[in-house]
């Protein structure tokens, strides 16, 4: 359950409670001293990364009542005391250390650099700031989400405990999620992985990489390293998603296991990386 509340900032103070998380929605207020534009995609990202209300949060919302004082003049006059002189001051005021959660979400929403990076790159940039004792657990959670082994709600709940103590982690973990949720990045990688587990013996490695938006080879090898195609329940777990994938056309010439690994084994694709070494787990 998520609730979006639209208020008139400055005149009505947002209700504060540990069960509620607020995001900065960029309003125009106080005449014309703050005029901003927010992309819909940025607002959607901020909403998507909000933790849904649990039962305590729902109960709080349902028992809240609006109290409107009869005389609002003094409150409106006090609004002037908090009006910044210029837009720069407004940003500095809104992004104070006392609101690190919103700051991290705001910074991550503006950051589009991940669009030019691979999954391996954004994952490395995130994990390098995670204490080494926790990296393996965090990496497992992220890869489970990319491989659709856990849903979005469970992912948010599991990852939250590892990042809440660091503003840097709060921002970079949002960027990792943005990459995985993106149709041209994480979703393409997911489909390429399904193509691999279902069709590697009838569709060559290069075809699998190219047919899903030129998926980066290293990224596909990383998810394979986490979950190889010999995992027992793959076809039952991905049954619905595999229907269309299994109908993709075969190569004119069937692929051959012609890539030699360091063990001497011949395989259809490059050798999978050691995730412990790759991410310094």
Please list, in sequence order, all residues whose beta carbon lies within 8 angstroms of the beta carbon of residue 265, skipping any fewer than 6 positions away: none
The answer, yes or no, to whether residue 152 has pLDDT greater than 60, is yes
Closest CA to 188 of 119, 272, 278, 113: 119
Phi-psi category of 14—alpha, beta or left, where left has phi over 0 and alpha has psi -120 to 50?
Answer: beta
- The secondary structure element, H or E, covering residue 35 is none
Q: Which of 7 and 114 is assigned the larger pLDDT?
A: 114
Given this model, what pLDDT does residue 46 score?
72
Q: Are 175 and 114 in contact (CB under 8 A)?
A: yes
Q: pLDDT tens digit string along 47-79?
A: 777 777 788 877 877 777 666 666 666 665 655
Given this model, what pLDDT does residue 89 score?
46
Q: pLDDT tens digit string along 224-281?
A: 999 999 999 999 999 999 999 999 999 988 999 999 999 999 999 999 999 999 999 9
Q: Where are the strands (E) in the chain, listed by range?
A: 259-260, 266-267
Distance CA 139, CA 175 (A): 14
Q: pLDDT tens digit string along 98-151?
A: 445 556 666 666 778 888 999 999 999 999 999 999 999 999 999 999 999 999
Single pTM value for the model: 0.65
Given this model, what pLDDT does residue 221 score?
97
The answer, yes or no, to whether residue 26 has pLDDT greater than 60, is no
| Angle, vertex CA 133, rays to CA 224 and CA 141, nearest 5 | 40
Q: Return the SS3 of 247.
A: coil
Supply 208's token pair: 């699998």
The whole-number average pLDDT for the span 19-30 is 56
Given this model, what pLDDT does residue 165 score?
75
Supply 252's token pair: 């004119």
Distance CA 108, CA 106 (A): 5
């Amino acid at each position: 359950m998520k609730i979006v509340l639209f208020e008139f900032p400055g005149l009505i103070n947002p209700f504060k409670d540990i069960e509620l998380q607020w995001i900065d929605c960029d309003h125009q207020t106080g005449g014309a001293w703050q005029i901003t534009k927010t992309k819909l995609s940025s607002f959607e990202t901020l909403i998507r990364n909000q933790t849904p209300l649990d039962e305590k949060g729902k109960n709080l919302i349902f028992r809240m009542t609006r109290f409107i004082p009869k005389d609002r003049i003094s409150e409106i006059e006090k609004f002037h005391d908090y009006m910044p002189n210029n837009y720069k001051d407004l940003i500095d005021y809104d992004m104070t250390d006392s609101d690190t959660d919103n700051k991290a979400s705001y910074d991550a929403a503006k950051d589009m650099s991940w669009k030019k990076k691979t999954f391996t790159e954004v994952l490395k940039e995130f994990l390098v700031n995670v204490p080494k004792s926790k990296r393996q657990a965090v990496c497992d959670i992220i890869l489970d989400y990319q491989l659709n082994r856990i849903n979005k709600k469970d992912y948010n709940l599991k990852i939250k405990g590892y990042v809440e103590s660091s503003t840097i982690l709060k921002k970079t973990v949002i960027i990792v999620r943005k990459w995985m949720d993106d149709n041209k990045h994480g979703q393409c990688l997911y489909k390429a992985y399904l193509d691999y587990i279902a069709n590697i013996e009838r569709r060559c490695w290069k075809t699998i990489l190219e047919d899903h938006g030129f998926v980066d080879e290293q990224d596909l090898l990383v998810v394979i390293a986490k979950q190889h195609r010999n995992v027992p329940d793959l076809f039952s777990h991905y049954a619905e998603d595999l229907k269309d994938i299994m109908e993709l056309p075969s190569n004119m010439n069937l692929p051959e296991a012609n890539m030699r690994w360091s063990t001497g084994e011949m395989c259809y694709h490059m050798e999978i990386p050691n995730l412990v070494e790759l991410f310094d787990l």
